[in-house]
Amino acid sequence: MSSVLNTVSSLRLSRVYNSNNNNHLRLPTHSVLTPPSVSFTRRRLTIRAADTDTNEVKSKAPDKAPAGGGSSFNQLLGIKGAAQETDKWKIRLQLTKPVTWPPLVWGVVCGAAASGNFHWNLEDVAKSILCMIMSGPCLTGYTQTLNDWYDREIDAINEPYRPIPSGAISENEVISQIWLLLLGGLGIAGLLDVWAGHDFPIVFYLALGGSLLSYIYSAPPLKLKQNGWIGNFALGASYISLPWWAGQALFGTLTPDIVVLTLLYSIAGLGIAIVNDFKSIEGDKALGLQSLPVAFGAETAKWICVGAIDITQLSIAGYLLGAGKPYYALALVGLIVPQVVFQFQYFLKDPVKYDVKYQASAQPFLVLGLLVTALATSH
């Protein structure tokens, strides 16, 4: 769930020009973030298009293009190895990275379970599905599109065949998609508050806060992702804490102990976020971003990554044991074991080559552990 673009002054892409038959891509100037405001007047929301359409930007590194033309399935999921696509709707879907939606959707499930008030009737199921749409396709899609926009210069180095740096989609089309997904997600959040009969629109404010967090994560001048620790924790909290809070607030009461517990669980989310940093080392170094693989080196960073994931979950298991819930604690430990196995089998061998295999193999056990914890707190 993530960020509000209330007051972006302007985004400019520098011209792409030809000189002596060589293409040059000048890095875009940074936008300026003015103080936040919830005013939605047209004048303050203006984003000026660049003089040059992004369609003119062409990849200079065809050697980095996906082997064999890439996969159409990967393209739809928004992961690396994607096939080049000309259909604009498929490109728009790719920018939202559907592969990133399930953790947010699952977070809503965990929050609903932790509330202790979810019932398997038509109304509660409909509410939960709408909350999942808000968290996944809308606000996560918004976050991913926004992140790709601000990462276009990094992607021009690491993955020049991606939709924005390759020119497969124009600047105005990207910006319109960002706004549509953001406003759609906030609108759904407000509707959920009305549906749940909230006196205070807590779901809306959670969506608004998460959206702002996403913006400052990706955009200058704060650009939290420049710092590996702060940025990755913010990302982990967005994927674990925020959807959980939304689901629990929708069906029950969000309590301080749950807020603290989920924020601690977000340290595991920090570890998951580090996994994605390994493939961007080259571009991060070139642009001065201090991701953990850049700051500590790949060998040290991969151990920080798995340590954050494993130690956090073991600590939560210890908490459940101390709270008199040994069966839940034992179930959580049982779900940690296969994650450790896959870490040694894939991630620790080569975090770049096996990142997708590792995440596909290990993360289902982590998200099941989240549900175990949620069920434990609801009883």
Q: Exposed, middle or buried: residue 20 (CB in 10 Å: 0-12, 13-18, 19+)?
A: exposed
DSSP structure class, residue 53: -
pLDDT, tens digit only, all 379 positions of the chain: 444 334 333 333 333 334 344 444 343 444 433 333 333 333 333 333 333 343 333 334 334 555 456 788 777 777 777 788 788 999 999 999 998 898 899 999 999 999 999 999 999 999 999 999 999 999 999 999 999 999 898 888 878 888 999 999 999 999 999 999 999 999 999 999 999 999 999 999 999 999 999 999 999 998 998 888 999 999 999 989 999 999 999 999 999 999 999 999 999 999 999 998 898 888 888 877 788 999 999 999 999 999 999 999 999 999 999 999 999 999 999 999 999 999 999 999 999 999 889 988 999 999 999 999 999 998 6
Residue 112 · residue 248 · CB < 8 Å: yes
User: How are beta strands 16-19 and 22-25 bridged, if at all?
Assistant: antiparallel
What the chain holds in terms of domains, given with CATH numbers, is 68-254 (1.10.357.140), 255-378 (1.20.120)
Distance of CA 32 to the CA centre of its chain: 22
Residues 298, 300, 303: CA angle, nearest 5 degrees = 105
pTM of the model: 0.77
Rounded Cα distance, 65 and 69, in Å:
8
Q: Which residue in 50, 45, 46 sits closest to 29, CA to CA?
A: 50
221 cis-preceded (ω within 30 degrees of 0): yes
d(CA 206, CA 242): 7
Helix (H) / strand (E) containing 18: strand 16-19
C-alpha gyration radius of the chain: 21
The CA distance from 30 to 11, in Å, is 7
Q: Are 107 and 370 contacting, i.e. CB atoms less than 8 angstroms apart?
A: yes
Task: List the beta bridge partners of residue 33.
Answer: 8
